Amino acid sequence: MRAGKFIAAFCFLLAIYSCNSPDYAPKPRGYFRINLPQKAYQKYQSNCPYTFDYPVYARVVPDSLDREANPCWVDIAFPDFNGRIHLSYWQISSPEQLNKMTEDAYELVYKNVVKATEINARTIYYPEKKVYGTYYGIEGNTASAVQFYLTDSTRNYLRGALYFHERPQADSIKPVLDFVKKDIDVMIKSLHWK
């Protein structure tokens, strides 16, 4: 019986001593290490009326989400980042159609206003290549952090939206988002209409 009391007293003293240790420090939350590849680009060419440069670590694949997709609707897939840039192309038949498409792009961006903390619009203007449009940077925990449209204002219209197929957490995807935004800038600057 004495041994049982001794063991109980020892465990009690050990518990009290270990709970009052001044060396305790909470551990910071850990995140996965992200290895970002070297920037290098290749030209996308097809039967579509546009070309652009895209990263060598991405793949251009046909749009698989829409059964009625135009053959020039493609996704730039980033398999290492579980993300895609959805590109939708339309041929413009009238100024009214262009205005409607521009308004539709604006409305799609501002559907994110509920979760967005900020939406920044930037004008795209390359008159020497006849490339005009708007780039929208959407801050916050939204489904799409970047959307844009490009047009020559007479015949061609290309809309893009970046999605990560993860739960939207802006602070978690920020390093990858910043990395992919640079690829989108290269794509936009290198776009040419055929």
Over residues 119-156, the pLDDT tens digits come to: 999 999 999 999 999 999 999 888 899 999 999 999 99
Does residue 98 carry a pLDDT above 80?
yes
In a domain, residue 130? The reply is: yes
Q: How far is CA 77 from the centre of its chain?
A: 11
Q: Is residue 129 part of a domain?
A: yes
- The answer as to whether 115 is a domain residue is yes
User: How many domains are contained in the chain?
Assistant: 1
Sheet holding 41-44, edge to edge: 41-44, 50-55, 192-193
Of 87, 88, 85, the residue nearest 180 (C-alpha): 85
Q: Is 59 among the domain residues?
A: no
- The answer to whether 54 touches 42, Cβ cutoff 8 Å, is yes
73/17 Cα distance (integer angstroms):
66
Bigger pLDDT: 167 vs 86: 86
pLDDT of residue 166: 80
Burial of 59 (0-12, 13-18, 19+ CB in 10 A): middle
Distance of CA 169 to the CA centre of its chain: 11
CA atoms of 171 and 25, how far apart (whole Å):
24
Model confidence at 58: pLDDT above 80: yes
Q: Is 68 helix (H, G, I), strand (E, B) or coil?
A: coil
pLDDT tens, residue by residue, 26-45: 767 666 667 899 999 999 99
Residue 72 is predicted with a pLDDT of 93
Domain assignment of residue 163, yes or no: yes
| Domain annotation covers residue 5 | no
Tell me what the mean pLDDT of segment 67-79 comes to: 87
In a domain, 136, yes or no: yes
Q: Is residue 100 part of a domain?
A: yes
Q: Do 159 and 186 meet the contact criterion of CB atoms below 8 Å apart?
A: no
Provide the domain limits for residue 126: 69-193
Nearest to 88 by CA among 103, 66, 110: 66
pLDDT, residue 41, reads 98
